[in-house]
Amino acid sequence: MPSVEICHLYISPGHNFFGHHNRPPDDYAAVEVSAIECVAGHGIRGDRFFDYKEDYKGRITFFALEVFDELCAVLKLSDCSPASLRRNIITREADLNALIEREFEIQGVRFHGVQECRLCYWMDRAIAPSAEKFLKGRGGLRARILTDGMLRSTGPIRVGTVE
């Protein structure tokens, strides 16, 4: 696999949309950090999916910055952060759908791509109307963490938290 740039890393202590069908979202910020600790079989230390369920498919999630930029252009969004996607790792130069059912390594940490992050109607609320439709088939990647290690962002970190 070619070198993958990690542009942003996010963790959140709680679920805003996940499991919230028929009730309002919660208000946990996605916090941008410079590094995350990946723990094999458990998830990202400090994130909402750490030890969520045994053998959970989405212990860590990836999203392509190129897709986010295209989404913003198509929907004419000028003040939107990738944190709105509620994915952990925002990458550049990675075909995430090609990693489904494959093992891969980034910065010395090994992962197994499990499935596409399926989108739901919450994307229209979290980002903008029509976001769910635009992102169909490009929702990112859910993965299992196979080895312990640290991932570091190469991009600038925003100061404070992002809702």
- Give the CATH number, domain containing residue 132: 2.40.33.20
User: Which residue from 140, 144, 139 is spatially nearest to 109, judged by alpha carbons?
Assistant: 144
CA 73: distance to chain centroid? Answer: 20
Domain presence at residue 157: no
- Which structural domain range is residue 69 located in? 5-152
Q: Which helix (H) or strand (E) holds 11?
A: strand 5-11
- Structural domain includes residue 68: yes
Structure tokens at 80: 């939107």
Cite the beta strand spans of 27-124 per DSSP E: 31-33, 35-39, 43-44, 60-64, 89-92, 103-106, 109-116
The pLDDT, as a whole number, for residue 4 is 81
Domains contained in the chain, number: 1
- What does the pLDDT read at residue 118? 80
Both structure tokens of 65: 């910055």
Listed as ranges, residues in the chain with pLDDT below 50 are 20, 158-163
Residue 97 covered by a domain: yes
In a domain, 159, yes or no: no
Q: Is residue 158 part of a domain?
A: no
Q: What is the pLDDT of residue 163?
A: 39
pLDDT at 160: 39
pLDDT at 30: 85
Q: What does the pLDDT read at residue 57? A: 82
Q: Please tell me the predicted confidence (pLDDT) of residue 28.
A: 65
Q: What whole-number distance in Å separates Cα of residue 125 and Cα of residue 89?
A: 21
Please give the pLDDT value at position 122.
74
